[in-house]
Chain A
Amino acid sequence: MSAIAEETVAAPPRRRLRLALWLLTRSFSSMLGLFLVTAIVALALLGPWIVPYPDDVQGGINLANKLQPPSFAHWLGTDEVGNDILTRVIIGARISLLVGIGITVAAAIIGVPLGILAGLAGGRLREVIMRFTDLFLSVPGLVLAIALVAALGPGIVNAMIALILVWWPGYVRLAEAKALSIRDEAYIEAARVAGASRARILRRHVLPNSISPLIVKMSMDIGQAILAVASLGFIGLGAKPPTPEWGAMISIARGYMPDWWWYAVAPGVFIYLAVLGFNLLGDGLRDILDPRSNRG
């Protein structure tokens, strides 16, 4: 009902914020996403101080205790060298989150300027940027990442580098599409008529109006990046044991299926909840960040 939106004239200054909260709380899935992300961030931040067995983080060996089922002392059981699994998945959250955010932010820093440049400049420069981007996009991301890690050598840092290299083209695509659509907006023409330079139009109008979809994509990508790192860890190209990385943990736990099933389930569930949380949150943000979505 645009007519109604148009009439809500006297807006108190904090309306935007209250509206955002209202939209968020109205959607169960957004709230679930927010809850999951908050929980994982909290675990990551507080990890070293709340884990029940801090000594197990670096992987002590306590074979007397190995492969215990979940119990009061070990809520999620213990692994093949007797470490507490709960402790290790909590510390794993720290690694996964850091890596996920790192990959996403780095990819955006590379991709967004290129995309906006391509969208605004047009012509040959755009062709060059976009075809180069297509080159990357035409190979399945994870396969390319595997090849890159294989070349660079396994390890968490190399896995990150490989994933950043396959991740940035998505941001070029999105930023270019957004810049192309904003370029034709009447308010850009209005700024030109006012005598604004290209740089000013970019800084003042194009960037602020491209931010929302980028934030939405980044939120969703953090989840995907966590999954990708875990995948690399699972096939032994990511973090190396005894680093408590979720993918690497599942990789080892696989050998103990199905008798010691809890060992694989714990990191698996954490990966699942993390990816789900960031995806749901991204969906919710999409509704909130559109300045025009102030209708009920």
Chain B
Amino acid sequence: MTEPLLRAEGLSRSFEGRRRLFHETPRVRAVAELNLTLDRGTALGIVGESGCGKSTLARLLLRLIPLSDGRIIFDGRDITALDESAMRPLRRRMQLIHQNPSAALDPRLSAEDAVAEPLRIHGVASGQALRDRVAALLAEVGLPSAFLHRFPHELSGGQKQRVCIARALALEPDLLVLDEPTSALDVSVQAQILDVLDALRARRGLAYLFISHNLAVVRQVCERVAVMYLGRIVEEGSAAEVLGTPRHPYTRALLESVPRLGANQAPPAAPGEPPNPASPPSGCAFHPRCALAVAACRAAMPPLVTLGDGHRLRCPRVG
């Protein structure tokens, strides 16, 4: 078996509580004992609702925020303990696409300067070679050279996201972490961006960690999907299985909640709301909203069990 591109073992991140004068902020476990692997050239979707820890996970894996526990192995190398300057050369190989392209671009840099920045930082190119490289990158994501000197406020949302993708590609990474890359975009633009992402993956053999709340988009992009609820994976497997024949009650509720075009009525709704990470329910975090819950679910957190063909499931009630 070849070494996966990215492996996380027992990854945890807690935000420490603080005592303030008038109130106390409790300790919050954003990500808890999380294991995942991502193979080269594949796409893993991370889905879940607000507060499930998916954005925190993205930043943990990129070592942008410190982790509380666990290990991260990138391309066979343990990067858990690397400091900022030791990480810097590795940053060329792992890049991030933000949710909101308007915020991810410095308002004072033109498209050309934004894409050139990583190349300048790593001294990859300069002068005319740099300019040619930037123009080629922008062309690769579908922006002709007329856009080179535009500033963010002169670009549409889709065009800004293309600039961000070109910037992420500049250093020829192996891994792209995409944090809700299309949720700020219109659907007609979203479809264009998904095409760009597909083409890039095919051409460059990139691996994607694709974070999204939009299940249909994840279904389009990813081979595998992990469903998160309150900092933990509750189900993981191939996209076809998890999103086609979901087993975990939460995955099912999530899928049923999506309004379908042909439905003509409000989708059936699971009761309750995603819990506050600051005061998690006992046992299985989903039990207060789960129709199948029994006393055991309230008592202890069920383990994440690996079934056949790499399907993982955290629910003893659906075997």
* A191, B98: Cβ atoms closer than 8 Å: no
Does B121 make an interface contact (CB < 8 A)? yes
Q: How far is the CA of A187 from the CA of B170 in the complex (A)?
A: 16
Q: Contacts A6-B156, A6-B157, A186-B98 known; A192 to B64 CB distance under 8 Å?
A: yes
Min CB distance, B26 to chain A, in Å? 22
Indicate with 1 or 0, residue by residue over B56-67, a CB within 8 angstroms of chain A CB atoms. Answer: 000000101000
Does B89 make an interface contact (CB < 8 A)? yes
Indicate with 1 or 0, residue by residue over B97-126, a CB within 8 angstroms of chain A CB atoms. Answer: 010100111111000000001100110000
Contacting residues, chain B, for A186 (C-beta < 8 A)? 98, 100, 103-104
Indicate with 1 or 0, residue by residue over A133-151, a CB within 8 angstroms of chain B CB atoms. Answer: 0000000000000000000
Contacting residues, chain B, for A185 (C-beta < 8 A)? 103
Q: Considering residues B89, B103, B106, B118, which has the most beta carbons from chain A within 10 angstroms of its beta carbon?
A: B106
* B154, A11: Cβ atoms closer than 8 Å: yes
Min CB distance, A128 to chain B, in Å? 20
Q: How far is the CA of A294 from the CA of B151 in the complex (A)?
A: 12
Q: How far is the CA of A205 from the CA of B113 in the complex (A)?
A: 12
9-residue interface stretch from A110-118, A193-201, A248-256: A193-201
* A291, B98: Cβ atoms closer than 8 Å: no
Min CB distance, B178 to chain A, in Å? 12
Contacting B96 at CB < 8 Å: which of A8, A193, A205, A209?
A: A193
List residues of B (115-166) whose CB comes within 8 Å of A's CBs.
Answer: 117-118, 121-122, 149-151, 153-157, 164
Contacting residues, chain A, for B108 (C-beta < 8 A)? 208-209, 291
* A9, B118: Cβ atoms closer than 8 Å: no
Q: Considering residues B154, B155, B171, which has the most beta carbons from chain A within 10 angstroms of its beta carbon?
A: B154
Q: Considering residues B94, B107, B155, B156, which has the most beta carbons from chain A within 10 angstroms of its beta carbon?
A: B107
Contacting residues, chain B, for A189 (C-beta < 8 A)? 64, 96, 98, 104
Interface size on A, residues (CB 8 A): 27
Does A17 make an interface contact (CB < 8 A)? no
Does A121 make an interface contact (CB < 8 A)? no
* B118, A187: Cβ atoms closer than 8 Å: no
* B92, A187: Cβ atoms closer than 8 Å: no
* B154, A187: Cβ atoms closer than 8 Å: no
Q: How far is the CA of A245 from the CA of B171 in the complex (A)?
A: 61
Contacting residues, chain A, for B122 (C-beta < 8 A)? 195
Does A190 make an interface contact (CB < 8 A)? yes
List residues of A (255-270) whose CB comes within 8 Å of B's CBs.
Answer: none
Contacting residues, chain A, for B107 (C-beta < 8 A)? 209, 291-292
Does B12 make an interface contact (CB < 8 A)? no
Does A204 make an interface contact (CB < 8 A)? yes
Contacting residues, chain B, for A7 (C-beta < 8 A)? 156
Q: How far is the CA of A5 from the CA of B102 in the complex (A)?
A: 13
Min CB distance, A292 to chain B, in Å? 6
Contacting residues, chain B, for A11 (C-beta < 8 A)? 150-151, 154
Min CB distance, B148 to chain A, in Å? 12
Q: Contacts A186-B98, A291-B108 known; A193 to B154 CB distance under 8 Å?
A: no
Does A13 make an interface contact (CB < 8 A)? yes
* A193, B156: Cβ atoms closer than 8 Å: no
Q: How far is the CA of A9 from the CA of B156 in the complex (A)?
A: 7
* B62, A9: Cβ atoms closer than 8 Å: no
Across the two chains, which residue of chain A brings its CB closest to B107? A291
Contacting residues, chain A, for B167 (C-beta < 8 A)? 190, 194
List residues of A (92-143) whose CB comes within 8 Å of B's CBs.
Answer: none
Across the two chains, which residue of chain A brings its CB closest to B113? A204
Q: How far is the CA of A9 from the CA of B159 in the complex (A)?
A: 10
Does B298 make an interface contact (CB < 8 A)? no
Contacting A195 at CB < 8 Å: which of B88, B104, B164?
A: B88
Across the two chains, which residue of chain A brings its CB closest to B149? A13
Min CB distance, B164 to chain A, in Å? 7
* B121, A194: Cβ atoms closer than 8 Å: yes
Min CB distance, A287 to chain B, in Å? 15
Q: How far is the CA of A10 from the CA of B228 in the complex (A)?
A: 42
Min CB distance, A251 to chain B, in Å? 47
Min CB distance, A55 to chain B, in Å? 52
* B100, A200: Cβ atoms closer than 8 Å: no
Min CB distance, B13 to chain A, in Å? 16
Q: How far is the CA of A264 from the CA of B151 in the complex (A)?
A: 52
* A190, B157: Cβ atoms closer than 8 Å: no
* A190, B96: Cβ atoms closer than 8 Å: yes
Q: How far is the CA of A204 from the CA of B105 in the complex (A)?
A: 12
Does B91 make an interface contact (CB < 8 A)? yes
Q: How far is the CA of A61 from the CA of B156 in the complex (A)?
A: 70
Contacting residues, chain A, for B251 (C-beta < 8 A)? none
Q: Contacts A193-B64, A208-B108 known; A9 to B98 CB distance under 8 Å?
A: no
Does B238 make an interface contact (CB < 8 A)? no
* B154, A190: Cβ atoms closer than 8 Å: no
Q: Contacts A5-B153, A6-B157, A292-B153 known; A190 to B92 CB distance under 8 Å?
A: no
Beyond A190-B164, A193-B94, A291-B108, list 18 extra A-B contacts (CB 8 Å): A5-B153, A11-B151, A187-B103, A187-B106, A189-B64, A192-B64, A194-B91, A194-B95, A194-B170, A194-B171, A195-B89, A195-B118, A195-B122, A205-B106, A208-B108, A209-B107, A291-B153, A292-B153
Which 3 A-B pairs give the minimum distances between C-beta atoms?
A194-B118, A186-B103, A195-B91
Query: Which residues in B have some Cβ–Cβ distance to A below 8 Å?
Result: 62, 64, 88-89, 91-92, 94-96, 98, 100, 103-108, 117-118, 121-122, 149-151, 153-157, 164, 167-168, 170-171
A-B contact pairs, 10 of them (CB 8 A): A9-B155, A11-B151, A13-B149, A186-B104, A191-B106, A194-B95, A194-B117, A195-B91, A291-B108, A291-B153
